[in-house]
Amino acid sequence: MDREALIEGYVFGNLNPDDLAKADALRKLDVTFDEAVTALQALRQAIARNEHNDIRQMVKKFEQQKQQASVKSINRSIKWWALAASLLLVFSLAYWLYPTGNQNEKLYASYYKTMPNIVSPIVRGTQQQDTVAMAFTAYEQMNYKKAEFLFSILYSQSKEPYALFYQGMCKLEMNDAKGCISLLESITWVNGRYLLADFSEWYLGLANLKVNKLPAAQKYLEAAAQQGKPYQSQASALLLKLRRTL
């Protein structure tokens, strides 16, 4: 093996034991060999760092582009604001004079977003872990009927509160707000250590809004609007709108 191959093999870590011993010895005895190894290690590190920085720049750009798109969208809409404001005034008057029955439904629709899967990692292995993976896969594929069934099985096997919570989310996705409320209200969140308990308050608020149970909706939204809760700002904004109508 020539000198260059020995240096590269050493740096790539793919020398056989004999060549490795030879290279180790050369590093101690031959300054130029040792220097060449160090230089090549530095080069690999430099390339790795540049690659790392390239990806960082790329993902930062995604965020910047999103912000720019949002600013552009705002700018485009500014010229319509005057017109929209006057139309809004007319509609608002009509709205207050003749309130519509599905106002809460509209509010619900404007605030509702599908609960993402935040139960992770899912590791395949035991039968129960496979049910977890299957349930969340169905959920993420928006196959809520199947997911609901799997979460109910999972709950009967594990008694894990999250299974009941996601079963409730499936019901809400399938427009069964009453079913969702009944499931979510039946969960016992042990010691308040579950992050999902905070999400549950928000979704109970929304589900009660959907079925026009405003006092209950208000109660849950007030809990969800507390400092540090994941939907704090949305719950506060929704409460404000609700209080105007109560």
* Interface residues toward other proteins, by CB under 8 A: 12, 39, 42-52, 54-56, 58-60, 62-63, 116-118, 120-124, 133, 137, 195, 230
Indicate the residue among 179 and 230 with the shorter CB distance to other proteins.
230
Residues counted in the chain: 246
Q: At what angle do helices 103-111 and 195-210 cross, to 10 degrees?
A: 150
CA proximity to 145, closest of 167, 178, 116, 115: 167
Q: Which two tokens stand for residue 70?
A: 């949002």
Shortest reach from residue 71's CB to other proteins, in Å? 19
How far is it, in rounded angstroms, from Cα 206 to Cα 199?
11
User: Within 13 Å of residue 143, how many CA atoms lie on the same side as its CB?
Assistant: 11
Minimum distance between the CB of residue 12 and other proteins, rounded to whole angstroms?
Answer: 7
Q: Which is nearer to other proteins, 203 or 218 (CB)?
A: 203
Closest distance between other proteins and the C-beta of residue 49, in Å?
6
By beta-carbon proximity to other proteins, the closer residue of 137 and 152 is 137
The distance of closest approach from Cβ of residue 88 to other proteins in the complex, given in angstroms and rounded to an integer, is 30
**Which lies closer to other proteins via its Cβ, residue 76 or residue 113?**
113
Q: Which is nearer to other proteins, 39 or 87 (CB)?
A: 39
Residue position matching structure tokens 């790329």 = 58
Name which of 29 and 55 has its Cβ closer to other proteins. 55
> In sequence order, what DSSP letters do the residues of 41-108 get, joined into one string?
HHHHHHHHHHHHHHHHHHHHHHHHHHHHHHHHHHHHHHHHHHHHHHHHHHHHHHHHHS--TTHHHHHH
- The least CB distance from residue 195 to other proteins, in Å, is 4
User: How many other β-carbons are positioned within 10 Å of the β-carbon of residue 13?
Assistant: 7
- Considering the complex, what minimum distance in angstroms separates the CB of residue 226 from other proteins? 14
d(CA 244, CA 112): 20
